[in-house]
Amino acid sequence: MKILILTLISFISGSIPFSVLTGYVLLDKDIRNFRDGNPGAGNAWIAGGWISGIPATILDFSKGFIPVFISIYKFEISGWALVLIALSPILAHAFSPFLKFKGGKAVAATFGVWTALGSLHISLILAIFIGIIFILQSEDSWSIIMGMFLFLFYLFIQMKDIYITSICIGNIVILIVKHRYFMKNGMRLRPYIKKIFR
């Protein structure tokens, strides 16, 4: 019963559209009317700069971090139960029932979950992998997905933990589903990278 309740709390936490709410409260705007219509922190930055971007990012990060952190350090959840709890806020952010299952791209929630799972240094490693791919090519979605695959390889080599690896694989699947539309055109190499291969 405890695991079920914690999973439900994690899902509800992830499903709250903080970025959309931040846009309404601070800007009196619907951030979904900007750029690609994504109801996440990225559009909060575009709609209102740091005024809405910073609180939206912190809140979207926190809805992944807080329930997983509490589950680990307060209730000592581990194993397959932790896999379920850790993926719940990411899944809920991506397919929020409050937004008719049209949620955000789940990037901030992903970083929140991995910070809870392994501290800031783990999230920094993930950010570095994503950054490396972004330096090579310019499509954000490909940077995120390929960065996650590098992160998966790192976790497999360094931690050799089936549960952590399973969380990462589940995370990648969710991100691919959410980013598939933006990945259709493939990776776009940076001009300075193209010159190397000429």
Residue 192 scores a pLDDT above 90:
no
Residue 9 scores a pLDDT above 80:
yes
Average pLDDT, the chain: 94
pLDDT at 189: 84
Structural domain including 155 reads 2-196
* Of 120, 123, 124, 14, nearest in space to 67 by CA: 14
Rounded Cα distance between 109 and 98, Å, is 16
pLDDT at 69: 97
What is the pLDDT averaged over residues 83-99?
97
pLDDT confidence band for 59 (50 / 70 / 90): very high
How many domains is the chain partitioned into structurally?
1
Q: Which residue did the predictor score with more confidence, 193 or 142?
A: 142
Q: Which residue did the predictor score with more confidence, 175 or 187?
A: 175
pLDDT at 167: 98
Q: What percentage of the chain carries pLDDT values higher than 70?
A: 99
